[in-house]
Amino acid sequence: MSETESLSELPLNKSNTTNSFSSEIPIEIEIVSEEEMVLLEAALALASASVPANASAICSPLRSFHGKARSIQSITVLSKRSLSGHTEPDIEDSGNFASTQKKNKNNESFLHRFRKKKGLSVTDITSTEWCEKQMEFVLLHAKRRTNKAMKTGSARHAKLEEEVVKKVKVQVKSKEDTWALKFLNFIIGANQLLFEGLTRELPIIGFAEGVWMVGVIDEIRIPATETDRNPILVDTKTRVRDTLPAEPQRRNGRLQLMCYKYIWDNLVADNFPSQKFFDFFTLNPYSILSEELRERTADSGFPADTLDDIVRLFRNTCSILPPAHDQLLLRYEFQKDNSLLGEDHFAFDSDWLKNQIHGCLEFWLGEREACYTPEEERWKCRFCQFASICPTNNGLDSTPSPTNTGPDSTPHKHELE
């Protein structure tokens, strides 16, 4: 059964660059571009007062991250390019959330039931950190609702992508083709980063903490200095109101970017177990790619006939990339005019991140029941579509919180299929 994904072209100045795979082959960069589907953050954003102390029992609050910020130097601006093409379903599709079965007879974990052949997305991790009970409801009952603000945020991300990406359409005929296209997207995006100093919407997949994790990084920059060439990971959030978000939202955004850095650093350290990848996703590494894909890879300067060929090129690409910068950047924009509301520069905290991931995996692996959101953050419940069936719904206070007067409307992206 055929699937469709989009591929975009990124021309390079060949006189100033060489191909990382063959110095004799001129590079003609092409990259998969994806339509951002819409998920969580607007519904998760608007803050209001905490509920009374007699609400249902909860797990201990997750420890807040306090990173000491320092400035990150800007990079050379990448010139805008004319665009063509159209968008298709996102490479980060995190899978089918709809399920009416509350209890599996075999008592399978959520990871096995819902992400067995998809991997755990970074969105899954951040959504679980926001509220495990809400994540459970999403998995067992329904997809999350979307609204106008979320769609506006998604459109803004598409616009930012179009500033550096030109799209063309490519047909894929098998799951091996689909994965080959995803890896090709990474390879070409990484080349764009190395040669031009900036890339956006970069798909990423890695094996970390015993599970496969997938995601799409909003933006990666190379600092414009001779001494510092470690890529800076950036995520842009859009907001309906011209205010910065409350700490729980900032914490959630920091977790997202730290997950990306963790996966990135594992990849550049050559921690990608190819055979485990083929086995987990039930792929034939020697499956011949579609004729169109083989033509695209040849035209791009790194010919490949099979998925295994593409994975080898992917690992070669990772081997020439430096680790991500220890300083990460969250940007907050006002939806009305795309003006910058503020930036959150923070440091990567490996211990904090691993604690968050391990806590998340306890839920996904069925090692414990879902926790409710901490009592001091129970204002989140007022904006949850499952509030009417959640035990924490009793006695919610309708008084708005003064710490956060508007939702963060940039959607989390859906993860790799």
Q: What is the pLDDT of residues 107-124, one digit of tens each?
A: 789 999 999 889 999 999
Structure tokens at 291: 């004729």
115 DSSP assignment: S
Is residue 191 within 8 A of residue 29, CB to CB? The reply is yes
pLDDT in tens, 56-110: 334 533 334 443 333 333 222 232 332 222 333 333 333 333 333 344 445 789 9
122 DSSP assignment: H
Specify whether the backbone of 391 is left (phi greater than 0), alpha (psi in -120 to 50) or beta: alpha
Per-residue pLDDT of the chain (417 residues), as tens digits, is 444 444 433 333 333 333 333 333 333 333 333 333 333 343 333 333 333 333 333 453 333 444 333 333 322 223 233 222 233 333 333 333 333 334 444 578 999 999 988 999 999 999 999 999 999 999 998 766 666 677 777 777 777 777 777 767 788 899 999 999 999 999 999 999 999 999 999 999 999 999 999 999 999 999 988 788 899 999 999 998 899 999 999 999 999 999 999 999 999 999 999 999 999 999 999 999 999 999 989 988 889 999 999 999 999 999 999 999 999 999 999 999 989 999 999 999 999 999 999 999 999 999 999 999 998 999 999 888 898 889 887 655 443 333 333 335 444 444 443
pLDDT in tens, 280-290: 999 999 999 99
- Across-strand partners of 215? 204
User: Which residues, in sequence order, are CB contacts of 1 under 8 Å at separation 6+?
Assistant: none
CA 233 to chain centre: 11
User: Which residues, in sequence order, are CB contacts of 4 under 8 Å at separation 6+?
Assistant: 88, 89, 169, 170, 171, 172
CA 373 to chain centre: 23
- pLDDT computed for residue 53 by the predictor: 36
Residue in the structure block whose two tokens are 């764009």: 192
Q: Cβ of 343: how many Cβ atoms within 10 Å?
A: 16
Give the chain's length.
417
C-alpha separations of 356 from 69, 138, 282, 379 in Å: 21, 20, 29, 21
CA 110 to chain centre: 20
Q: Which residue, among 363, 343, 324, has the nearest Cα to 140 in the 3D structure?
A: 363
Rounded to the nearest 5 degrees, what angle is found at the Cα of 159, between the Cα atoms of 154 and 165? 120
pTM over 0.85? The answer is no
- Name the strand (E) or helix (H) holding 252: helix 247-268
Q: What is the dihedral of CA 303, 291, 8, 29, to 10 degrees?
A: 20
Specify whether the backbone of 197 is left (phi greater than 0), alpha (psi in -120 to 50) or beta: left
Q: Where in the chain are the domains?
A: 3-393
Round to whole Å and give the CA distance between 37 and 3. 17
Give me the phi and psi of 13, to 5 degrees please. -80, 100
Is residue 364 within 8 A of residue 135, CB to CB? The reply is no
Half-sphere CA count of 384, side-chain side, radius 13 A: 26
- pLDDT computed for residue 90 by the predictor: 35
Instruction: Encode 378-395: b = buried (16+ Cβ within 10 Å), e = exposed.
Output: bbbbbebbbeeebebbee
Q: What is the DSSP string of 63-91?
A: PPP----------PPPPP--------S-T
Round to whole Å and give the CA distance between 369 and 343. 36
Give me the phi and psi of 307, to 5 degrees please. -60, -40
- pLDDT computed for residue 86 by the predictor: 31
Round to whole Å and give the CA distance between 313 and 182. 12
Round to whole Å and give the CA distance between 167 and 31. 8
- pLDDT computed for residue 219 by the predictor: 96
- The gap between the terminal CA atoms of the chain, to the nearest Å, is 15
- Across-strand partners of 239? 334, 408
Strand 29-33's sheet: what is its strand order?
A: 29-33, 3-10, 166-172
Helices (H), 269-336: 274-280, 291-300, 307-319
